[in-house]
A and B are shown apart, each in its own frame.
Chain A
Amino acid sequence: MALPASDPPPPAAAATDRLIGDAYAVDTSRPLPGAGGGLAAFAASDRRSGRGDLMAVQVRANLPPRAQALNVLSMGLGDGVLTPLAHGPVALPGSGAGGGAGQAWFVICQAPPGPALWPPSAGHRPWAEAELLERLVRPAAQALEWLQSRHVTHRAIRPDNLFRAGPGDPVTLGCAWAAPPALLQPAVFEPPYSAMCLPAGRGPGTIADDVYALGVVLLTLALGRVPLAGMDDLAVVRRKLEVGSYAALAGEERLPSAIADLVRGMLAEDPEHRPPPALLADPAAARSRRVAARPPRRAQQPLAMPVGPVWNARTLAHAIATDPEQGVRLLRNGEVDRWLRRNVGDPTLAVRLDDAVRQRGIDADAEDGQADALLALRSVALLDPLAPVTWRGLAVWPDGLGPALAAALPAGQPGGGRDAAARDGALAEMLAAEAIGAWAAARPERGDPTMLTADAHQLRATVRLRGWGGGTARLRYTLNPLLPCASPGLAGRMVVRLGDLLPALEAAAARPDAHRVLPIDAEIGAFLAARHETRVETELARLLEPRSTEHAALVQLRLLAWLQQRQRIAELPNLAAWLGEHTRAALSVWRQRQRRAQLGEALGEFIRAGQLPAMLAVLEDPALLAADARGAREATLAVQTIDRELAAIATGGPARAESARRLGQDVVLGVGLSAMAVAAIAAILA
């Protein structure tokens, strides 16, 4: 078993100090090999206090740091553990206005006091019992006790992440905050129920998992070598499940009796049976603590599975979790039932599994594959209540779901790929099936199923939300508060908080090629929905309505204007120009040309001023729009009346001719009568 290699340092760059939180400078030209516990680390300093014994650990893409631990531990320095001080983005060398390498997220913490315990500089020499107890177990236990008092686990205890200033000095736990919990832990240092999970999906676990890892470290240093070295992770897990962790790792090794007793307790299969850190701080007391655990029943005859012969219930659970199709086949044809009754002699477990198989018939309204996956999940939980949630060959702890989703970015995204997309799809299906609730219900003695069922229901509702405001993308950001937005439109800028989004879009808008599409894409939509308030969801749903581009642009303007107003950002001229290009067409809804021209001029002014809310006010004035529509209707009616009158004039020629004829004749008649009357009067008077 080889310990994981550290991230290689980035290409040599000019010595450039970069600040986090206006205080911490990161010198990316001074890498600290091996100091980051598997992650790239660089020298850092505190500009305010002048303190220089700091390091900056670089966060890997799609593997967010531990937000809760960073929040809690940044409040005070712990003894015996490298505690985080701050975290934030830093521009990498070579990045500039044009984008370039972009930014990276760093966690600032104390630098290690000396080299890591592994690989040992002076050869693989077993530590003496006293040194192990006084320089390893006691200080590590005190550090774990301190962490436990803050409800934080370490989850990165392994020899290459334990440091000490020199021989005879106590060890210090390394940095474990810049990556998901236990991400880089080799299977040998993890309890089997954690080792079998996706690396990013192991979750923070409990302090007992740290005790387990410390027990393996203790064993490693006592032996002078890493146990089970050379075995792959799957084989390590199977070995541990088959014979128990202590037997698998210590085997027939000769250990001092005190160390052997301590390690046996620390490697107990049930986390509740391991000594707590407070007890470990007094190794003598911890050694004397014995918890009677019933060994797993070993079958008289193994059950043949594709992964190998299965000898007990836990290895059967692991085999089903690893190869669910085959496992379900054996469950449904009764082979597992017969094996449990005849070879293991556990009819109670057989009956419970039989119930699960019958439950599968009830689930048959779901599609067959999903019903089978649920059967496999319930069976694994029944056979091994310590096992995590398993789904289609994946295993994950519910509290590790967020990082697991982040690591499974879909293909096409930075860091994503076909396998990652398949993992994302499987996790989405798992959430849609409320598998976490089914898993919790199958092992009620290991956790509160009510709470987990409610959580599963909520997760399902989010996954099934239509549009950019739902799905696994939104969950990825909801469950990972420090996961940066993965939108390619942000040109490498780290957008972790909602407040980072507009400045990043403003910077991205400076590139003219960015203007071809709208600023908000699916990733930014999911990010907004996760870091938002509820009102954003409606707007995000509208983005998927099959309407015009200007409609989508208007919705995006509404969202971003709301953000600008809320965050009180004075001006965003580039972003305004970007949106302006797509929203100008929205002016066409105005019918009155003069007003449209006036609004166009006003819009141009607000674009130059970078005022998104003012732009929105120009484009969306309901009262004026209603008046404009009313005016347009009235104009249309007036024009129709005019057209009717013109048509009447055009077709009224014959009628006018007839009228003219009659009128002319009447006039002449009148003249004639008048003339006759005058002549008659004249004749009479003559």
Chain B
Amino acid sequence: MAGKQAGMAAGGKAVGGKVGGGSRLWVQGLVCGTVIAVAAPSVLLVAVLGLPGLLALLFDREPGRPIARNVLLFGAAVAMPSLAALWHAGRDWAACLDLLSDVGRVATAWALQAGGWLVGELAPLAVRAGMEATAAAQAARLRARRARYEEEWGLPPAPETGEPAAKG
């Protein structure tokens, strides 16, 4: 029952995302309330395991909340086995507390979410490094071509513009 409520809560959130304005808030609240009422153990389990994601959702102010989105995605992936275990154990408070008392489970869930956050931070840097390297290589090729033209046709050298590819 609790697991069902949690799944409904997740579905309600997804539905709530498509509803705009104040009515969307009411709908979300209604859905969340319904989910909490129907599947409170599942909601608790998801809330505890996905706590870093919820905190990120609270503090991420960027448009589209990319950090929170990544952390939540990883949190959701981590929570799936525990939620499945809760549902198999009857979806009651005892099973929920039993699962939450497993410190290793909670720590693993939070660590993976931290990893998700870290990946979300590092991935743009890595991509940018790759793009800069590509640009620098292209600039080098262009400069070499230009040098050949200068040498062959006696054209004036390019004005000093610094290292175009390395900066910016």
Contact = CB atoms under 8 A, between A and B. Distances in A.
Contact of A643 (B116, B154, B158): B158
B155 to A, nearest CB: 6
A667 to B, nearest CB: 5
Most A CB atoms within 10 A — which of B76, B77, B88, B143? B77
A646 B80 contact: no
A350 to B, nearest CB: 80
A683 interface: yes
For B66, B80, B120, the residue with the greatest tally of chain A CB atoms inside 10 Å of its CB is B80
Specify which of A646, A662, A673, A686 lies most central, judged by the most chain B CB atoms within 10 Å of its CB: A646
Interface string B120-157: 10111111111110010011001101100111111100
Nearest to A680: B80
B14 interface: no
A664 B124 contact: yes
B119 to A, nearest CB: 5
B77 A678 contact: yes
A204 to B, nearest CB: 63
In the complex, which of the residues A661, A673, A679 has the most CB atoms of chain B within 10 Å of its own CB atom? A679
Contacts of A682: 80-81
B80 A672 contact: no
A660 B127 contact: yes
Contacts of B70: 665, 668-669, 672
B168 A653 contact: yes
Interface residues of A, number: 45
Interface in A618-648: 631-632, 635-636, 638-639, 642-643, 645-647
B73 interface: yes
A665 B123 contact: yes
A386 B77 CA distance: 133
A361 B160 CA distance: 75
Nearest to B116: A672
Contact of B161 (A632, A635, A646, A675): A646
A304 to B, nearest CB: 80
Interface in A120-174: none
Nearest to A667: B123
Contacts of A678: 77
A586 to B, nearest CB: 16
B164 A650 contact: yes
Interface stretch (A245-253, A574-582, A590-598): A590-598
Given A675-B77, A676-B80, A646 B124 contact: no
B84 interface: yes
B18 interface: no
B7 to A, nearest CB: 11
A660 B131 contact: yes
A671 interface: yes
A683 B80 contact: yes
A663 interface: yes
Interface in B51-87: 66, 69-70, 73-74, 76-78, 80-81, 83-84
B153 A631 contact: yes
A600 to B, nearest CB: 14
Contacts of B125: 660, 664
A673 B81 CA distance: 15
A660 B168 CA distance: 13
Contacts of B168: 650-654, 656-657
A659 interface: yes
Contact of A659 (B66, B131, B146): B131
A643 B145 CA distance: 11
A684 interface: yes
A96 B158 CA distance: 59
A663 B125 CA distance: 10
Given A663-B124, A665-B120, A592 B153 contact: yes
Given A676-B77, A686-B84, A642 B146 contact: yes
Contact of A669 (B69, B135, B152): B69
Nearest to B80: A679
A679 B128 contact: no
A649 interface: yes
A190 B162 CA distance: 92
Contacts of B38: none
Contacts of B66: 665, 668-669
B44 interface: no
A684 to B, nearest CB: 7
Contacts of A667: 123, 127
B114 interface: no
A635 B154 CA distance: 10
Contacts of A636: 153, 155
A672 B164 contact: no
Given A668-B123, A679-B76, A679-B81, 12 more contacts: A591-B153, A635-B155, A639-B146, A642-B145, A642-B149, A643-B158, A647-B164, A650-B139, A668-B119, A675-B77, A676-B76, A679-B80
28 contacts: A632-B153, A635-B152, A638-B145, A646-B139, A647-B164, A649-B165, A653-B132, A654-B168, A656-B135, A659-B131, A660-B127, A660-B128, A660-B129, A661-B124, A662-B124, A664-B122, A664-B125, A665-B70, A669-B70, A672-B69, A675-B73, A675-B74, A675-B77, A678-B77, A679-B78, A680-B80, A682-B81, A686-B81
Interface of A: 591-594, 631-632, 635-636, 638-639, 642-643, 645-647, 649-654, 656-657, 659-665, 667-669, 671-673, 675-676, 678-680, 682-684, 686
